[in-house]
Structures are given as structure tokens and as C-alpha cells.
Chains A and B, each alone.
Chain A
Amino acid sequence: GENVEQHPSTLSVQEGDSAVIKCTYSDSASNYFPWYKQELGKRPQLIIDIRSNVGEKKDQRIAVTLNKTAKHFSLHITETQPEDSAVYFCAASSLGGTSYGKLTFGQGTILTVHP
């Protein structure tokens, strides 16, 4: 089955700095890679996703890059703000087939943005 490794487990930055979280996956059949943000005590919410037919996707201050050859993808947050503080999860999945929509999640990164 799929295995997703996420690094770092904790990340501390100053407000205005950039933050980068990296994930690697094992199954070459995976072709959908979402990122979720989970604030304390709340549900995870999708912030950005990417499919394997593109190498990069951007949405305002957040971007995701994908390297299919190396089987890794990264989340980039620029101009960080205190409200970006949360736990971030990457995930991998295979669209269609017998995956049944299952996501394999990384272990999460606790991001702290200091004012």
C-alpha cells in the first residue's frame, strides 16, 4: 500500500518568513495530492491540492510543487502570518481504480508563526 512520509514534524518561523513542508510517497500509481490544515480542536480542511499532470499550483500565499520522478511534493507558504499556525497534513491518493477515494496521510507538521 501507499506510504507517505512528512517532514519536518514541527516548524517554527517568524511572521513574514516562508515555510516549506515536504512529503514523499511510495506508490507510483498515486496521482492526487491534497494538503489539509487543521486548527486546534477543529476538523482538517483542504487548502490546496495538485494532480500529477501538473508540476506546480499556486493560490495566493500558498503553493504546492510535485516531482513525480522523485515521488515528492511540497507545500510552500509565503509571507506567513500568525493565523497560519496550525497542523498541516499532506496526503496521497490514486484517482479511480480500486482506491475507493482513500487518502494516505502524512504524520503532520505543527507550524508555529511567531509575531
Chain B
Amino acid sequence: SQTIHQWPATLVQPVGSPLSLECTVEGTSNPNLYWYRQAAGRGLQLLFYSVGIGQISSEVPQNLSASRPQDRQFILSSKKLLLSDSGFYLCAWNLAGFRNEQFFGPGTRLTVL
């Protein structure tokens, strides 16, 4: 069966510090991968998605970036965090061309101070 992992689970970082969040999927090949951000009490904002290794599409302009160095690995990064980057970051996957149900990871709660 498929499993999706995210780490770390929680993170407290000072403004201006770098960020690296990691997401890995097990038990499937060539998944579509997604990064979402959820501010407190708000909806799900799609940040990036990827349909293959090295292929990244950005949905919103911001100081975040994403990379997909391996088929089942998706990384969210920032060189300098802003206060507004605080939130709950969710990674998700689904199978390309099959059905669009997305499976979410457990999330990373980021607090920027």
C-alpha cells in the first residue's frame, strides 16, 4: 500500500532563516506531487505541483521554491523565511491519468518568529 511521509512534523524558525521541508511517497511510481499551505482557520492554497522528476509548476509567486530530485521525493525550500510563511504545510500525491483523488501527508506545522 502507499504511504506518504513528511518531516519535520513541527518547526519553529526565525525570520530570515532558510527552510527545507521534505515529502516522500512509498508504494507507487510516477506520482503527481503537490505542496499546499494552510493558514490558521483557512483553506488549502496550492503552492507547487510536479508531474515528474525536475518538473515543477508554481501556482503563486512567493519566496518559496520546490524541487523534485527523485521520483517520489518533493522538497519545499526557502532562502529567507518571512512571518507570513507560517502555516500548516501539506504534501499530497495522486496518480497521473488515473483518478484525481489526492492523498495528503501528515503535514508540517511551521511557525516563523
- A-to-B contact residues, CB < 8 Å: 32, 34, 41-46, 49, 89, 93, 95-96, 99-103, 105-108
Contact B101 A46 (CB under 8 A): yes
Give the total of B residues in contact with A, Cβ under 8 Å: 24
B113 within 8 A of A: no
- B-to-A contact residues, CB < 8 Å: 32, 34, 42-44, 46, 49, 51, 57, 90, 94-97, 99-107, 109
A-B contact pairs, 22 of them (CB 8 A): A32-B99, A34-B100, A42-B107, A43-B104, A43-B105, A44-B44, A44-B104, A46-B101, A46-B102, A89-B43, A95-B100, A100-B49, A100-B51, A100-B57, A101-B96, A102-B34, A102-B46, A102-B49, A103-B46, A105-B46, A108-B42, A108-B44
CB neighbours of B99 from chain A (8 A): 32, 95
Distance of A95 Cα from B109 Cα, bound (Å): 31
